[in-house]
């Protein structure tokens, strides 16, 4: 029996749908693993129950088996559970269970959005140590797009790529008042009504409020009236101030991030929740981040998706100082994706696989470890590109092909995760 363990590991890593619960296989998952079980039966002359027993045994004998079984019963991991998951290297089992939860909701399909990133300015005064994109005011490489330039970029993207979303993010530019954003958002919604405006981090909102000597709630209200439809949730990084004091001491606190997001939710502006991991944070910090997102979502139900993405240190101050030498890598990505699904199952519907820093292949695997969304085409992205770590330019065809390659159906979505086309 020991000789089949390598093949069981392959099953855990590549097929995240089937799962034995208390020794019983759900009928709806049986077909998915039938061929693989048949292979094992032929090669090792085993009965299906013998193979399934091995899977069940691995789950029950795991140090995280109780957490995984609770997840299957709809019980969300606690803070302590998250710490145990983060400290475990049994990512295959996490992915197995996370995949089951995902397939129960979405089946074997994954979504993506045709979009561009509009990095409207690189002028910034917050000097975040993890950022290679920003330039101080009056720097020779600094820029701010004009309204005409924004219109031109959006029009080109609509004509060439049929985009459904503009993701608008930039630096903390003290020279830009709210009229700049109102004019930009209003123009996009008027001239390109099929394109959703998904824009600005909470810290950018805070910057605009400071420039205008206004409240963040008032700024959000005005931006919504101008055409802002949703927030990308950037600026969270890790929602513990001991981490923020190291990597972004001039940006808003964790409480301020949560407050501004809550204000947006109350105003009817949904958002994504994000996490940037792989730098100076501890597992306890990550667990606290999860806990804070859960508490806010239970209160407002305003998050559409959760996106964990890995920090890329190239060309950043943190790399120059020797704080972080290399990125977290694929193993950690799959762990974060799987835990995200376990934590947010039934609470935040969508988990994004994020190909930008980890590549298309890892994004494909992430779809089998709990993610259901491939993210966007991200045409024109400049922030990660400044680290030299951007994987590639993606078109909708490349994403569609990548999802089909793993046997999934593809759904193109809009800004609000509504299906607009199936492939």
CATH number at residue 131: 3.20.20.70
Identify whether the C-beta of residue 63 lies closer than 8 Å to the C-beta of residue 271: no
Do 40 and 152 reside in the same domain of the chain? no
pLDDT surpassing 90 at residue 35:
no
Rg, the chain, Cα only = 22
Do 123 and 181 reside in the same domain of the chain? yes
Do 120 and 23 reside in the same domain of the chain? no
Q: Establish if 90 belongs to a structural domain.
A: no
Q: Which residue has the higher pLDDT, 248 or 260?
A: 260
The Cα 330–Cα 307 span in angstroms is 15
Q: Name residues whose C-beta falls within 8 Å of residue 377's C-beta, 6 or more positions apart in sequence.
A: 112, 113, 114, 115, 116, 161, 163, 394, 395, 396, 399
The Cα 230–Cα 40 span in angstroms is 48
Q: pLDDT at position 399, please?
A: 93
Between 1-5, 103-107, 287-291, the lowest mean confidence (pLDDT) is in 1-5
Average pLDDT of the chain is 86
Quick one: 314 exposed, middle or buried, by C-beta within 10 A (0-12, 13-18, 19+)? middle
How many domains does one find in the chain?
2
pLDDT surpassing 60 at residue 56:
yes
Q: What percent of the chain has pLDDT over 90?
A: 65
Number of continuous H segments (helices) and E segments (strands) in the chain: 17, 12
Do 280 and 131 reside in the same domain of the chain? yes
Task: Give first-to-last CA distance, the chain, whole Å.
Answer: 42
Backbone angles phi, psi at 144, to 5 degrees: -140, 125
Q: Establish if 411 belongs to a structural domain.
A: yes
The average pLDDT across 322-345 equals 92
Do 35 and 126 reside in the same domain of the chain? no
Nearest to 223 by CA among 285, 284, 288, 267: 267
Q: pLDDT at position 321, please?
A: 83
Q: pLDDT at position 147, please?
A: 97
Do 113 and 57 reside in the same domain of the chain? no
The average pLDDT across 7-14 equals 47
What is the extent of the structural domain holding 23?
A: 2-61
Q: Predicted confidence band at 2 (pLDDT cuts at 50, 70, 90)?
A: very low
Q: Which residue has the higher pLDDT, 25 or 158?
A: 158
Q: Establish if 89 belongs to a structural domain.
A: no
pLDDT surpassing 90 at residue 139:
no
Q: Establish if 278 belongs to a structural domain.
A: yes
Q: Predicted confidence band at 102 (pLDDT cuts at 50, 70, 90)?
A: very high
Q: pLDDT at position 132, please?
A: 73
Angle made by CA atoms 176, 180, 183, in degrees to the nearest 5? 175
Q: Predicted confidence band at 393 (pLDDT cuts at 50, 70, 90)?
A: low
Q: Establish if 363 belongs to a structural domain.
A: yes
Mark which of 22, 41, 61 sits at the end of a domain.
61
Do 26 and 114 reside in the same domain of the chain? no
Do 117 and 44 reside in the same domain of the chain? no
Which uninterrupted H or E stretch holds 21?
strand 20-21
pLDDT surpassing 50 at residue 12:
no
Q: Establish if 208 belongs to a structural domain.
A: yes
Do 130 and 49 reside in the same domain of the chain? no
Q: Establish if 190 belongs to a structural domain.
A: yes
Do 249 and 305 reside in the same domain of the chain? yes
Nearest to 197 by CA among 221, 168, 160, 154: 168
The average pLDDT across 317-328 equals 82
Q: Predicted confidence band at 316 (pLDDT cuts at 50, 70, 90)?
A: confident
Q: Establish if 405 belongs to a structural domain.
A: yes
The Cα 298–Cα 282 span in angstroms is 25
pLDDT surpassing 60 at residue 275:
yes
pLDDT surpassing 60 at residue 28:
no
Q: pLDDT at position 318, please?
A: 79
Do 187 and 315 reside in the same domain of the chain? yes
Q: pLDDT at position 14, please?
A: 44
pLDDT surpassing 90 at residue 137:
no
The average pLDDT across 246-266 equals 95
Identify whether the C-beta of residue 203 lies closer than 8 Å to the C-beta of residue 251: yes
Q: Predicted confidence band at 50 (pLDDT cuts at 50, 70, 90)?
A: low
Q: pLDDT at position 10, please?
A: 46
Do 140 and 251 reside in the same domain of the chain? yes
Q: pLDDT at position 324, please?
A: 83
Q: Predicted confidence band at 3 (pLDDT cuts at 50, 70, 90)?
A: very low
């Amino acid at each position: 029996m020991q000789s089949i363990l390598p093949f069981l590991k392959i099953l855990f890593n590549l097929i995240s749908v089937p799962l034995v619960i208390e020794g019983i296989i759900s009928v709806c998952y049986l077909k998915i693993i039938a061929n693989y079980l048949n292979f094992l039966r032929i090669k090792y002359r085993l009965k299906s129950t013998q193979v399934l027993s091995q899977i069940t045994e691995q789950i029950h004998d795991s140090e995280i088996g109780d957490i995984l079984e609770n997840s299957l019963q709809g019980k969300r991991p606690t803070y302590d559970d998250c710490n145990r998951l983060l400290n475990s290297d049994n990512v295959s089992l996490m992915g197995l269970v996370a995949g089951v939860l995902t397939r129960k909701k979405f089946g074997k399909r994954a979504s993506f959005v045709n979009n561009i990133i509009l990095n409207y300015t690189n002028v910034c005064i917050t000097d975040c140590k993890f950022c290679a994109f920003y330039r101080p005011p009056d720097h020779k490489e600094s820029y701010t797009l004009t309204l005409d330039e924004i219109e031109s970029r959006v029009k080109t993207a609509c004509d060439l790529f049929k985009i459904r979303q503009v993701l608008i993010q930039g630096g903390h530019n003290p020279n830009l008042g709210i009229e700049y954003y109102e004019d930009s958002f209003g123009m996009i919604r008027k001239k390109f009504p099929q394109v959703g405006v998904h824009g600005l981090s909470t810290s950018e909102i805070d910057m605009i409020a400071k420039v205008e000597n206004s409240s963040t709630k008032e700024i959000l209200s005005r931006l919504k009236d101008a055409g802002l439809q949703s927030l990308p949730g950037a600026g969270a990084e890790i929602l513990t101030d001991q981490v923020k004091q190291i990597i972004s001491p001039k940006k808003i606190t964790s409480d301020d991030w949560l407050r501004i997001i809550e204000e947006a939710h109350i105003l009817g502006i949904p958002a994504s929740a994000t996490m940037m991991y792989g730098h100076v944070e501890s597992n306890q910090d990550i667990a606290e981040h999860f806990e804070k997102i859960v508490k806010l979502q239970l209160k407002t139900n305003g998050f559409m998706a959760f996106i964990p993405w890995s920090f890329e240190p190239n060309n950043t101050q943190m790399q120059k100082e020797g704080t972080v030498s290399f990125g977290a890598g694929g193993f950690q990505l799959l762990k974060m994706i799987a835990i995200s699904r376990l934590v947010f199952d039934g609470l935040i519907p969508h988990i994004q696989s994020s190909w930008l820093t980890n590549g298309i292949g890892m994004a494909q695997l992430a779809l089998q470890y709990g993610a259901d969304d491939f993210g966007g085409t991200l045409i024109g992205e400049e922030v990660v590109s400044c680290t030299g770590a951007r994987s590639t330019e993606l078109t909708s065809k490349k994403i569609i092909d990548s999802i089909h390659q793993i046997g999934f159906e593809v759904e193109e979505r809009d800004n609000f995760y509504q299906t607009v086309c199936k492939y």
